[in-house]
């Protein structure tokens, strides 16, 4: 298993990085906060989880081992795979997710695309006594500005990738840009759109 990765960030997307390690570019799927905290040309150090499937090897990267451990822990619940686990950490930071599970906060959990009331109840039932609220590090960095319409397209694509329909994503982006017409910061717009969709 690949437990951590350190190397130069070659490229960043809304939900992934390519990190060069020993001359090999490794595609690492991340939360928008982790992706925004890394810049091309800078060194990245990530705690990682390798998901092995018959047809693929997929690497997921996190800011620290605590976040990675939570990613792996939520997958012990039936019906929660790596994509849904990553969506959970994209909508809520690790401490907020632990608190939602520990407190049985179904409203917070059902804000995550792909989790309905029954799934949220199952997550709480199976993990409530296992997740402790640990001090985490939130990714509060901002991403570099993108050209005019491209940043809106990136936000829509990220929302669709997290499980919302294209129409829901476009509507949320429209509402956010109406409220913040001058903003071109992709990570900020994504956070606002996630908040909008969580209402």
Band of the pLDDT at 171, cuts 50, 70, 90?
confident
Cα torsion 91, 137, 65, 69 to 10°: value is -40
Residue 8: predicted pLDDT: 96
**Cα 69 to Cα 179: distance, rounded to the nearest angstrom:** 36
Q: Which residue has the tokens 């960030």?
A: 9
Give 134-167 pLDDT, tens digit per residue: 444 333 333 333 344 677 777 887 887 777 787 8
Highest mean pLDDT among 10-19, 126-135, 184-193: 10-19
Burial classification of residue 25, based on how many CB atoms lie within 10 Å of its CB (0-12 exposed, 13-18 middle, 19 or more buried): middle
Cα torsion 45, 7, 30, 78 to 10°: value is -80
Q: Which pTM value belongs to this model?
A: 0.67
Share of the chain above pLDDT 90, in %: 56
Which residues are within 8 A (CB) of 178 and not within 5 positions of it... i.e. 6 or more apart?
A: none
Give 53-103 pLDDT, tens digit per residue: 999 999 999 999 999 999 999 999 999 999 999 999 999 999 999 999 999
């Amino acid at each position: 298993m690949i437990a951590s990765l350190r190397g130069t960030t070659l490229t960043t997307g809304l939900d992934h990085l390519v990190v060069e390690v020993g001359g090999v570019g490794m595609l690492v799927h991340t939360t928008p906060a982790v992706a925004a905290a890394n810049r091309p040309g800078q060194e990245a150090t990530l705690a990682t989880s390798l998901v092995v499937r018959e047809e693929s090897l997929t690497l997921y990267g996190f800011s620290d081992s605590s976040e990675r451990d939570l990613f792996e822990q939520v997958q012990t619940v039936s019906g929660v795979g790596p994509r849904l686990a990553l969506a959970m950490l994209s909508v809520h930071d690790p401490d907020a997710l632990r608190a939602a599970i520990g407190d049985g906060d179904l409203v917070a959990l059902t804000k995550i695309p792909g989790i309905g009331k029954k799934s949220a109840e199952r997550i709480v039932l199976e993990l409530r006594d296992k997740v402790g609220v640990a001090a985490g590090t939130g990714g509060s960095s901002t991403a570099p500005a993108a050209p005019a319409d491209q940043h809106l397209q990136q936000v829509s694509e990220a929302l669709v990738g997290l499980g919302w329909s294209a129409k829901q994503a476009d509507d949320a982006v429209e509402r956010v840009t109406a409220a913040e017409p001058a903003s071109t910061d992709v990570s900020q717009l994504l956070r606002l759109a996630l908040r909008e969709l969580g209402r």
